[in-house]
Amino acid sequence: MLTEANFVRNIGRVIGVDEPYFGKCLYLWFSGGYDRIKITLPEFINKFKPFMKEDKQYMLRLCFEILDIDKDNLLNILELLHLNKNLKPHTMLSREIIIIMDEYLAKNLMNSNKNINRININFDGYHKLVTSSCLQSEIRRKFWQLPDVYEPNEPHSICEKMNRDQLAVYYNEG
C-alpha cells in the first residue's frame, strides 16, 4: 500500500530530483483529493496506464487533473498560487504553472467599467494554453520507461532547476 508519505518521500527516486510537492500532487490525484487514503499497487498501475498509450488529448486531461488540487475541474487562483509557492522555481513544471497564472491574471483584471471578470481555468482553457504538458512526458519516461525523445537542452526532469535561457527555449521568453 502506498501512502502520501511514500509519494512525497520517494518522488526523487523516481524522477531523479527531490520535489516533495510534486509527489503530494500525484498522491492527491491518486486519492481523489482525500488524505489518508492508501493506494494499492494495482490502483497505481491502472491510474498511470493511459500514459502508456498515444492518446495525447486524454493524457493532457490527466495532467490537468493532477494540477487540480481540489478536484473541482477548475484551476483557480488559490490553486495556482499554491502550486507556484510550493514547486521549485525555474523548472519546466513551475514555468507551465506560470503560463496558466499569467492567463488567469490577464482575464481577471478590471475592465473599463471597473468590473472584475472572474474566470477559472477549465480543461478547455488549460488545453489552449498547454497543448502538450511536460507532465505527460515525465510520467511516460519515468514511470513507464517509454522512449519519449528528449529535446536539445531539455533537463533530465521537469523538476530540475533550469537557467533562464533554457526556460526561454521551451516557453518563448527572452
Indicate if the pLDDT at residue 95 is higher than 80. yes
**How does DSSP assign 110-144, residue by residue?**
B-TTS-B----B-HHHHHHH-SS-HHHHHHHHHTT
Residue 101: give its domain's CATH number. Answer: 1.10.238
What are 11-51's pLDDT values in tens digits? 999 999 999 999 999 999 999 999 999 999 999 999 999 99
Indicate if the pLDDT at residue 117 is higher than 90. no
32: domain range? Answer: 4-171
pLDDT, average across residues 151-173? 80
82 close to 76: Cβ distance less than 8 angstroms: no
- Return the axis-axis angle of helices 41-48 and 20-31, rounded to nearest 10°: 100
- Say what the pLDDT of residue 173 is: 46
**How does DSSP assign 5-50, residue by residue?**
HHHHHHHHHHHSS--HHHHHHHHHHHHTT-SSPPBPHHHHHHHHGG
For residues 110 and 65, give the distance between their C-alpha atoms in angstroms, rounded to a whole number. Answer: 29
Of 154, 165, 158, 121, nearest in space to 143 by CA:
158
**How many domains, in total, are found in the chain?**
1
